[in-house]
A and B are shown apart, each in its own frame.
Chain A
Protein backbone atom coordinates (compact mmCIF):
# COMPACT_ATOMS: atom_id res chain seq x y z
CA UNK A 1 0.00 0.00 0.00
CA UNK A 2 1.33 3.38 -1.02
CA UNK A 3 2.30 5.34 2.08
CA UNK A 4 0.65 8.72 2.15
CA UNK A 5 0.87 11.65 4.49
CA UNK A 6 -2.31 11.32 6.49
CA UNK A 7 -4.04 14.64 6.76
CA UNK A 8 -7.63 15.74 6.89
CA UNK A 9 -8.87 16.99 3.54
CA UNK A 10 -10.87 20.19 3.20
CA UNK A 11 -13.01 21.82 0.52
CA UNK A 12 -10.62 24.66 -0.35
CA UNK A 13 -7.54 22.48 -0.99
CA UNK A 14 -6.34 22.01 -4.54
CA UNK A 15 -7.65 18.79 -6.04
CA UNK A 16 -4.38 18.14 -7.86
CA UNK A 17 -2.35 18.48 -4.65
CA UNK A 18 -4.40 16.01 -2.66
CA UNK A 19 -4.15 13.46 -5.49
CA UNK A 20 -0.39 13.89 -5.73
CA UNK A 21 -0.23 13.14 -2.00
CA UNK A 22 -2.51 10.12 -2.27
CA UNK A 23 -2.82 8.73 -5.83
CA UNK A 24 -5.71 6.49 -4.74
CA UNK A 25 -7.90 9.57 -4.76
CA UNK A 26 -7.71 9.43 -8.54
CA UNK A 27 -9.36 6.01 -8.33
CA UNK A 28 -11.95 7.42 -5.95
CA UNK A 29 -12.78 10.16 -8.46
CA UNK A 30 -12.91 7.57 -11.23
CA UNK A 31 -15.54 5.66 -9.22
CA UNK A 32 -17.53 8.88 -9.10
CA UNK A 33 -17.09 9.22 -12.86
CA UNK A 34 -14.84 12.28 -12.59
CA UNK A 35 -11.67 12.53 -14.66
CA UNK A 36 -8.49 14.64 -14.66
CA UNK A 37 -6.98 17.11 -15.60
CA UNK A 38 -7.92 19.37 -12.71
CA UNK A 39 -5.62 22.34 -13.36
CA UNK A 40 -5.68 24.72 -10.36
CA UNK A 41 -9.23 23.92 -9.27
CA UNK A 42 -10.17 23.41 -5.63
CA UNK A 43 -11.93 20.32 -4.32
CA UNK A 44 -15.09 22.37 -3.98
CA UNK A 45 -14.98 23.62 -7.58
CA UNK A 46 -14.38 20.17 -9.06
CA UNK A 47 -17.26 18.72 -7.02
CA UNK A 48 -19.63 21.53 -7.97
CA UNK A 49 -18.78 21.26 -11.66
CA UNK A 50 -19.61 17.58 -11.54
CA UNK A 51 -22.75 17.86 -9.46
CA UNK A 52 -21.24 15.94 -6.55
CA UNK A 53 -21.77 16.97 -2.93
CA UNK A 54 -18.45 18.29 -1.59
CA UNK A 55 -19.21 16.89 1.87
CA UNK A 56 -19.81 13.45 0.42
CA UNK A 57 -16.59 13.58 -1.55
CA UNK A 58 -14.67 14.71 1.52
CA UNK A 59 -16.17 11.92 3.62
CA UNK A 60 -15.03 9.30 1.10
CA UNK A 61 -11.67 10.94 0.37
CA UNK A 62 -10.83 11.20 4.05
CA UNK A 63 -11.52 7.48 4.45
CA UNK A 64 -8.96 6.86 1.69
CA UNK A 65 -6.58 9.15 3.55
CA UNK A 66 -7.01 7.14 6.76
CA UNK A 67 -8.88 9.92 8.54
CA UNK A 68 -12.29 9.40 10.12
CA UNK A 69 -14.26 12.46 9.08
CA UNK A 70 -17.91 13.16 9.55
CA UNK A 71 -19.44 16.40 8.28
CA UNK A 72 -21.81 18.35 10.52
CA UNK A 73 -24.74 17.28 8.38
CA UNK A 74 -25.25 13.58 7.58
CA UNK A 75 -25.52 12.81 3.85
CA UNK A 76 -28.88 13.82 2.42
CA UNK A 77 -31.30 11.44 0.69
CA UNK A 78 -30.40 12.87 -2.69
CA UNK A 79 -26.75 11.82 -2.18
CA UNK A 80 -27.89 8.23 -2.53
CA UNK A 81 -27.61 8.34 -6.33
CA UNK A 82 -23.94 9.31 -6.16
CA UNK A 83 -23.23 6.69 -3.48
CA UNK A 84 -24.85 3.89 -5.46
CA UNK A 85 -23.08 5.04 -8.62
CA UNK A 86 -19.78 4.97 -6.79
CA UNK A 87 -20.36 1.47 -5.40
CA UNK A 88 -21.49 0.13 -8.78
CA UNK A 89 -18.44 1.53 -10.50
CA UNK A 90 -16.12 0.03 -7.93
CA UNK A 91 -17.81 -3.36 -8.36
CA UNK A 92 -17.14 -3.12 -12.07
CA UNK A 93 -13.55 -2.16 -11.33
CA UNK A 94 -13.11 -5.27 -9.15
CA UNK A 95 -14.72 -7.71 -11.51
CA UNK A 96 -13.47 -6.36 -14.85
CA UNK A 97 -10.02 -5.20 -13.90
CA UNK A 98 -8.60 -6.23 -10.54
CA UNK A 99 -9.67 -9.84 -10.20
CA UNK A 100 -8.82 -10.90 -13.75
CA UNK A 101 -5.44 -9.19 -13.29
CA UNK A 102 -4.66 -11.10 -10.10
CA UNK A 103 -5.87 -14.33 -11.62
CA UNK A 104 -3.56 -13.96 -14.58
CA UNK A 105 -0.62 -13.28 -12.25
CA UNK A 106 -1.45 -16.46 -10.31
CA UNK A 107 -1.66 -18.39 -13.60
CA UNK A 108 1.71 -17.04 -14.60
CA UNK A 109 3.08 -18.12 -11.25
CA UNK A 110 1.66 -21.60 -11.74
CA UNK A 111 3.31 -21.79 -15.14
CA UNK A 112 6.75 -20.82 -13.84
CA UNK A 113 6.46 -23.09 -10.80
CA UNK A 114 5.06 -26.38 -11.92
CA UNK A 115 4.77 -27.86 -8.42
CA UNK A 116 1.30 -29.04 -7.70
CA UNK A 117 0.51 -26.73 -4.77
CA UNK A 118 0.06 -23.97 -7.32
CA UNK A 119 -3.00 -25.70 -8.76
CA UNK A 120 -4.51 -25.52 -5.27
CA UNK A 121 -3.68 -21.83 -5.03
CA UNK A 122 -5.28 -21.24 -8.38
CA UNK A 123 -8.39 -23.09 -7.31
CA UNK A 124 -8.43 -21.17 -4.02
CA UNK A 125 -8.50 -17.87 -5.86
CA UNK A 126 -11.06 -18.95 -8.43
CA UNK A 127 -13.39 -20.13 -5.64
CA UNK A 128 -12.82 -16.93 -3.76
CA UNK A 129 -13.50 -14.90 -6.86
CA UNK A 130 -16.85 -16.60 -7.39
CA UNK A 131 -17.81 -15.94 -3.75
CA UNK A 132 -17.00 -12.29 -4.25
CA UNK A 133 -18.91 -12.16 -7.52
CA UNK A 134 -21.93 -13.60 -5.77
CA UNK A 135 -21.70 -10.91 -3.10
CA UNK A 136 -21.33 -8.12 -5.66
CA UNK A 137 -24.19 -9.52 -7.75
CA UNK A 138 -26.42 -9.59 -4.70
CA UNK A 139 -25.74 -5.91 -4.07
CA UNK A 140 -26.16 -4.95 -7.72
CA UNK A 141 -29.36 -6.93 -8.22
CA UNK A 142 -31.09 -6.81 -4.82
CA UNK A 143 -29.75 -4.09 -2.56
CA UNK A 144 -29.18 -1.22 -4.97
CA UNK A 145 -32.53 -1.51 -6.82
CA UNK A 146 -34.26 -1.67 -3.44
CA UNK A 147 -32.51 1.51 -2.30
CA UNK A 148 -33.38 3.28 -5.56
CA UNK A 149 -37.02 2.29 -5.13
CA UNK A 150 -37.01 3.81 -1.65
CA UNK A 151 -35.50 6.99 -3.03
CA UNK A 152 -38.09 7.10 -5.81
CA UNK A 153 -40.88 6.86 -3.23
CA UNK A 154 -39.38 9.62 -1.14
CA UNK A 155 -38.84 12.01 -4.03
CA UNK A 156 -42.28 11.40 -5.51
CA UNK A 157 -43.86 11.59 -2.10
CA UNK A 158 -45.55 8.23 -2.49
CA UNK A 159 -46.52 5.98 0.40
CA UNK A 160 -44.37 2.85 0.79
CA UNK A 161 -45.47 0.00 -1.41
CA UNK A 162 -47.10 -2.70 0.64
CA UNK A 163 -45.54 -6.11 0.36
CA UNK A 164 -41.93 -4.98 0.26
CA UNK A 165 -40.65 -6.89 3.23
CA UNK A 166 -36.97 -6.38 2.57
CA UNK A 167 -35.05 -4.08 4.86
CA UNK A 168 -31.48 -2.90 5.04
CA UNK A 169 -31.12 -4.91 8.22
CA UNK A 170 -31.11 -8.09 6.10
CA UNK A 171 -28.38 -6.65 3.95
CA UNK A 172 -26.30 -5.95 7.03
CA UNK A 173 -26.50 -9.62 7.93
CA UNK A 174 -25.66 -10.73 4.42
CA UNK A 175 -22.71 -8.41 4.34
CA UNK A 176 -19.97 -10.88 5.11
CA UNK A 177 -16.30 -10.50 5.34
CA UNK A 178 -14.66 -10.88 1.95
CA UNK A 179 -11.27 -9.71 3.07
CA UNK A 180 -10.36 -12.77 5.12
CA UNK A 181 -9.32 -15.01 2.24
CA UNK A 182 -7.18 -12.27 0.74
CA UNK A 183 -5.24 -12.24 3.95
CA UNK A 184 -4.87 -16.00 3.83
CA UNK A 185 -3.45 -15.74 0.36
CA UNK A 186 -0.96 -13.07 1.40
CA UNK A 187 0.19 -15.20 4.34
CA UNK A 188 0.65 -18.25 2.11
CA UNK A 189 2.54 -16.21 -0.45
CA UNK A 190 4.97 -14.63 1.99
CA UNK A 191 5.29 -17.30 4.65
CA UNK A 192 4.97 -20.65 2.97
CA UNK A 193 4.71 -21.01 -0.80
CA UNK A 194 8.01 -22.15 -2.29
CA UNK A 195 8.84 -20.28 -5.47
CA UNK A 196 11.60 -20.28 -7.96
CA UNK A 197 13.46 -16.99 -8.21
CA UNK A 198 10.55 -15.11 -9.63
CA UNK A 199 10.85 -11.96 -7.56
CA UNK A 200 8.78 -9.92 -9.98
CA UNK A 201 5.76 -12.21 -10.01
CA UNK A 202 5.62 -12.66 -6.25
CA UNK A 203 6.02 -8.95 -5.67
CA UNK A 204 3.37 -8.08 -8.22
CA UNK A 205 0.94 -10.48 -6.65
CA UNK A 206 1.57 -9.19 -3.13
CA UNK A 207 1.19 -5.56 -4.23
CA UNK A 208 -1.99 -6.30 -6.17
CA UNK A 209 -3.52 -8.22 -3.27
CA UNK A 210 -2.63 -5.46 -0.81
CA UNK A 211 -4.12 -2.82 -3.04
CA UNK A 212 -7.30 -4.78 -3.48
CA UNK A 213 -7.51 -5.39 0.25
CA UNK A 214 -7.10 -1.69 0.95
CA UNK A 215 -9.83 -0.79 -1.50
CA UNK A 216 -12.15 -3.47 -0.13
CA UNK A 217 -11.67 -2.26 3.45
CA UNK A 218 -12.70 1.24 2.43
CA UNK A 219 -15.50 -0.17 0.32
CA UNK A 220 -17.00 -1.97 3.32
CA UNK A 221 -16.52 1.12 5.49
CA UNK A 222 -18.51 3.14 2.97
CA UNK A 223 -21.26 0.53 3.05
CA UNK A 224 -21.30 0.18 6.84
CA UNK A 225 -20.75 3.78 7.90
CA UNK A 226 -22.49 5.68 5.12
CA UNK A 227 -24.84 3.58 2.98
CA UNK A 228 -26.53 1.46 5.66
CA UNK A 229 -27.27 4.33 8.11
CA UNK A 230 -28.57 6.48 5.25
CA UNK A 231 -30.90 3.75 3.97
CA UNK A 232 -32.08 3.06 7.51
CA UNK A 233 -33.00 6.76 7.75
CA UNK A 234 -34.85 6.53 4.44
CA UNK A 235 -36.79 3.52 5.69
CA UNK A 236 -37.91 5.20 8.88
CA UNK A 237 -38.74 8.40 7.01
CA UNK A 238 -41.12 6.42 4.80
CA UNK A 239 -42.55 4.50 7.72
CA UNK A 240 -43.43 7.71 9.51
CA UNK A 241 -45.25 8.79 6.36
CA UNK A 242 -42.79 11.55 5.45
Chain B
Protein backbone atom coordinates (compact mmCIF):
# COMPACT_ATOMS: atom_id res chain seq x y z
CA UNK B 1 0.00 0.00 0.00
CA UNK B 2 1.31 3.38 -0.97
CA UNK B 3 -0.30 5.56 1.63
CA UNK B 4 1.54 7.29 4.36
CA UNK B 5 0.15 6.31 7.76
CA UNK B 6 0.34 8.76 10.65
CA UNK B 7 0.66 6.93 13.93
CA UNK B 8 0.73 8.33 17.42
CA UNK B 9 2.13 6.13 20.17
CA UNK B 10 0.93 6.64 23.74
CA UNK B 11 3.52 4.88 25.86
CA UNK B 12 5.95 5.92 28.60
CA UNK B 13 8.62 3.33 27.85
CA UNK B 14 10.99 4.56 25.11
CA UNK B 15 12.17 0.99 24.69
CA UNK B 16 8.68 -0.10 23.69
CA UNK B 17 7.67 2.90 21.59
CA UNK B 18 10.94 3.20 19.69
CA UNK B 19 11.06 -0.56 19.29
CA UNK B 20 7.64 -0.44 17.67
CA UNK B 21 8.69 2.37 15.34
CA UNK B 22 11.83 0.47 14.33
CA UNK B 23 9.83 -2.69 13.71
CA UNK B 24 7.34 -0.92 11.47
CA UNK B 25 10.00 0.92 9.48
CA UNK B 26 11.55 -2.47 8.75
CA UNK B 27 8.24 -3.78 7.42
CA UNK B 28 8.27 -1.33 4.50
CA UNK B 29 5.00 0.33 5.55
CA UNK B 30 5.35 4.08 5.24
CA UNK B 31 4.65 5.57 8.65
CA UNK B 32 5.15 8.86 10.43
CA UNK B 33 5.39 8.57 14.18
CA UNK B 34 4.75 10.89 17.05
CA UNK B 35 5.11 9.94 20.68
CA UNK B 36 3.28 11.14 23.77
CA UNK B 37 3.00 9.65 27.22
CA UNK B 38 -0.56 10.25 28.32
CA UNK B 39 -4.12 10.08 27.04
CA UNK B 40 -4.62 13.70 28.06
CA UNK B 41 -2.21 15.01 25.43
CA UNK B 42 -3.91 13.19 22.60
CA UNK B 43 -6.45 15.76 21.47
CA UNK B 44 -4.02 18.65 21.47
CA UNK B 45 -1.64 16.55 19.36
CA UNK B 46 -4.48 15.75 16.96
CA UNK B 47 -5.33 19.43 16.60
CA UNK B 48 -1.73 20.16 15.66
CA UNK B 49 -1.21 17.22 13.37
CA UNK B 50 -3.79 14.64 12.24
CA UNK B 51 -3.17 10.95 12.71
CA UNK B 52 -5.13 7.89 11.68
CA UNK B 53 -3.87 5.38 14.20
CA UNK B 54 -3.36 5.52 17.96
CA UNK B 55 -1.25 2.78 19.47
CA UNK B 56 -1.83 2.85 23.20
CA UNK B 57 -0.93 0.85 26.26
CA UNK B 58 -4.31 -0.42 27.60
CA UNK B 59 -3.36 0.44 31.17
CA UNK B 60 -3.78 4.15 30.30
CA UNK B 61 -7.38 3.39 29.43
CA UNK B 62 -8.12 1.12 32.38
CA UNK B 63 -9.26 3.70 34.92
CA UNK B 64 -9.98 6.37 32.35
CA UNK B 65 -12.65 4.68 30.30
CA UNK B 66 -14.91 7.73 30.47
CA UNK B 67 -12.21 10.02 29.09
CA UNK B 68 -11.25 7.37 26.56
CA UNK B 69 -14.80 7.00 25.28
CA UNK B 70 -15.37 10.70 24.99
CA UNK B 71 -12.12 11.23 23.08
CA UNK B 72 -13.04 8.31 20.89
CA UNK B 73 -16.43 9.82 20.12
CA UNK B 74 -14.83 13.08 19.11
CA UNK B 75 -11.97 11.68 17.01
CA UNK B 76 -14.23 9.70 14.70
CA UNK B 77 -11.61 9.19 12.00
CA UNK B 78 -9.07 7.57 14.26
CA UNK B 79 -8.52 3.84 14.82
CA UNK B 80 -7.28 2.49 18.15
CA UNK B 81 -4.76 -0.29 18.68
CA UNK B 82 -3.96 -1.71 22.11
CA UNK B 83 -0.28 -2.39 22.67
CA UNK B 84 -0.21 -5.35 24.99
CA UNK B 85 2.73 -6.54 27.03
CA UNK B 86 1.01 -7.45 30.28
CA UNK B 87 -2.17 -9.27 31.16
CA UNK B 88 -5.35 -7.23 30.66
CA UNK B 89 -9.00 -7.93 31.13
CA UNK B 90 -10.50 -9.12 27.80
CA UNK B 91 -13.31 -6.62 28.30
CA UNK B 92 -10.76 -3.80 28.33
CA UNK B 93 -9.12 -5.13 25.17
CA UNK B 94 -12.47 -5.32 23.41
CA UNK B 95 -12.56 -1.50 23.45
CA UNK B 96 -9.83 -1.39 20.80
CA UNK B 97 -10.18 -1.84 17.05
CA UNK B 98 -7.17 -4.12 17.06
CA UNK B 99 -4.50 -5.41 19.41
CA UNK B 100 -0.78 -5.93 18.91
CA UNK B 101 1.30 -7.89 21.37
CA UNK B 102 4.95 -7.80 22.32
CA UNK B 103 5.58 -11.04 20.43
CA UNK B 104 4.13 -9.86 17.08
CA UNK B 105 6.54 -9.85 14.12
CA UNK B 106 7.15 -6.77 12.03
CA UNK B 107 4.93 -8.18 9.24
CA UNK B 108 2.01 -9.02 11.47
CA UNK B 109 2.05 -5.55 13.04
CA UNK B 110 2.18 -3.96 9.58
CA UNK B 111 -0.70 -6.18 8.41
CA UNK B 112 -2.92 -5.20 11.31
CA UNK B 113 -2.34 -1.52 10.61
CA UNK B 114 -2.86 -1.90 6.86
CA UNK B 115 -6.08 -3.74 7.50
CA UNK B 116 -7.47 -1.02 9.76
CA UNK B 117 -6.57 1.69 7.26
CA UNK B 118 -8.11 -0.15 4.33
CA UNK B 119 -11.29 -0.99 6.28
CA UNK B 120 -11.64 2.67 6.78
CA UNK B 121 -11.11 3.54 3.12
CA UNK B 122 -13.75 1.05 2.07
CA UNK B 123 -16.28 2.44 4.46
CA UNK B 124 -15.40 5.86 3.13
CA UNK B 125 -16.19 7.82 6.25
CA UNK B 126 -19.13 9.78 4.90
CA UNK B 127 -21.55 11.64 7.12
CA UNK B 128 -24.17 9.04 6.20
CA UNK B 129 -22.45 6.75 8.69
CA UNK B 130 -23.98 8.85 11.39
CA UNK B 131 -27.45 8.54 9.96
CA UNK B 132 -29.69 5.69 11.01
CA UNK B 133 -29.97 2.66 8.75
CA UNK B 134 -33.40 1.58 7.49
CA UNK B 135 -33.51 -1.23 10.03
CA UNK B 136 -32.60 1.13 12.85
CA UNK B 137 -35.41 3.45 11.76
CA UNK B 138 -37.84 0.48 11.90
CA UNK B 139 -36.74 -0.18 15.47
CA UNK B 140 -36.96 3.51 16.34
CA UNK B 141 -40.54 3.78 15.06
CA UNK B 142 -41.66 0.84 17.19
CA UNK B 143 -39.83 2.23 20.21
CA UNK B 144 -41.63 5.53 19.75
CA UNK B 145 -44.89 3.61 19.56
CA UNK B 146 -44.16 2.33 23.06
CA UNK B 147 -43.24 -1.25 22.13
CA UNK B 148 -40.96 -3.34 24.33
CA UNK B 149 -37.87 -5.10 22.97
CA UNK B 150 -39.66 -8.44 22.78
CA UNK B 151 -42.56 -7.00 20.76
CA UNK B 152 -40.14 -5.23 18.42
CA UNK B 153 -38.24 -8.48 17.90
CA UNK B 154 -41.45 -10.36 17.04
CA UNK B 155 -42.70 -7.66 14.72
CA UNK B 156 -39.48 -7.36 12.76
CA UNK B 157 -38.72 -11.05 12.92
CA UNK B 158 -35.33 -10.59 14.54
CA UNK B 159 -33.86 -11.72 17.84
CA UNK B 160 -34.02 -9.64 21.01
CA UNK B 161 -30.24 -9.37 20.93
CA UNK B 162 -30.42 -7.80 17.50
CA UNK B 163 -32.99 -5.31 18.77
CA UNK B 164 -30.69 -4.44 21.65
CA UNK B 165 -27.74 -3.94 19.36
CA UNK B 166 -29.82 -1.72 17.04
CA UNK B 167 -30.86 0.34 20.05
CA UNK B 168 -27.26 0.66 21.13
CA UNK B 169 -26.28 1.94 17.68
CA UNK B 170 -29.20 4.36 17.57
CA UNK B 171 -28.15 5.84 20.92
CA UNK B 172 -24.52 6.01 19.89
CA UNK B 173 -25.35 7.88 16.69
CA UNK B 174 -27.91 10.28 18.13
CA UNK B 175 -26.45 10.78 21.61
CA UNK B 176 -29.91 10.02 23.04
CA UNK B 177 -30.49 7.06 25.35
CA UNK B 178 -33.95 7.30 26.89
CA UNK B 179 -37.02 6.09 25.01
CA UNK B 180 -38.82 9.40 25.60
CA UNK B 181 -35.82 11.31 24.22
CA UNK B 182 -35.67 9.03 21.17
CA UNK B 183 -39.38 9.58 20.62
CA UNK B 184 -38.81 13.32 20.33
CA UNK B 185 -35.96 12.63 17.93
CA UNK B 186 -38.23 10.40 15.82
CA UNK B 187 -40.86 13.15 15.63
CA UNK B 188 -38.37 15.92 14.80
CA UNK B 189 -36.81 13.78 12.05
CA UNK B 190 -40.32 13.00 10.78
CA UNK B 191 -39.98 9.24 11.19
CA UNK B 192 -43.25 9.25 13.09
CA UNK B 193 -46.01 11.80 13.27
CA UNK B 194 -46.84 13.46 16.53
CA UNK B 195 -50.49 12.38 16.14
CA UNK B 196 -49.55 8.71 16.06
CA UNK B 197 -47.99 8.79 19.51
CA UNK B 198 -50.04 7.06 22.14
CA UNK B 199 -50.19 8.75 25.47
Which positions in A face B, CB cutoff 8 Å?
A: 116-117, 120-121, 123-124, 127, 180-181, 183-188, 191-194
Q: Which residues of B contact A188 (CB under 8 A)?
A: 176, 181, 184-185, 188
**13 A–B contacts from the bound complex (CB under 8 Å):** A117-B187, A117-B188, A117-B194, A120-B197, A123-B180, A181-B177, A187-B174, A187-B176, A188-B181, A188-B184, A191-B175, A192-B174, A192-B189
Which of A117, A120, A180 is in CB contact (< 8 Å) with B178?
A180
Question: Nearest-CB distance from B169 to chain A (Å)?
Answer: 15
A-B contact count (CB 8 A): 53
Q: How far is the CA of A116 from the CA of B197 in the complex (A)?
A: 12
Most chain B CB neighbours (cut-off 10 Å) among A117, A186, A194: A117
Q: Which residues of A contact B197 (CB under 8 A)?
A: 120
Tell me if B57 is interfacial: C-beta within 8 Å of chain A. no
Tell me if B17 is interfacial: C-beta within 8 Å of chain A. no
Determine whether the beta carbon of A117 is less than 8 Å from that of B184.
yes
Determine whether the beta carbon of A194 is less than 8 Å from that of B181.
no
Closest to B171 in A: A184
Q: How far is the CA of A185 from the CA of B184 in the complex (A)?
A: 10
Q: How far is the CA of A192 from the CA of B130 in the complex (A)?
A: 13
In this complex, how many residues of chain B approach chain A with their Cβ under 8 Å: the count is 15
* Secondary structure dominating the interface of A: helix
Q: Which residues of B contact A187 (CB under 8 A)?
A: 174-176, 181
Determine whether the beta carbon of B178 is less than 8 Å from that of A192.
no
Question: Nearest-CB distance from B192 to chain A (Å)?
Answer: 11
Q: How far is the CA of A27 from the CA of B153 in the complex (A)?
A: 48
Determine whether the beta carbon of A184 is less than 8 Å from that of B176.
yes
Q: Which residues of B contact A117 (CB under 8 A)?
A: 184, 187-188, 194
Question: Nearest-CB distance from A188 to chain B (Å)?
Answer: 6
Closest to B177 in A: A180
Most chain B CB neighbours (cut-off 10 Å) among A116, A184, A187: A184
Closest to B179 in A: A184
Q: How far is the CA of A184 from the CA of B182 in the complex (A)?
A: 8
Q: Which residues of B contact A184 (CB under 8 A)?
A: 175-178, 180-181
Q: Which residues of B contact A181 (CB under 8 A)?
A: 177-178, 180-181
Q: How far is the CA of A37 from the CA of B189 in the complex (A)?
A: 51
A187-B181, A188-B176 are known contacts; what are 18 more A-B pairs with Cβ within 8 Å? A116-B194, A117-B184, A117-B187, A120-B184, A120-B187, A120-B194, A120-B197, A124-B184, A181-B178, A181-B180, A184-B175, A184-B180, A185-B181, A188-B185, A191-B174, A191-B175, A193-B188, A194-B188
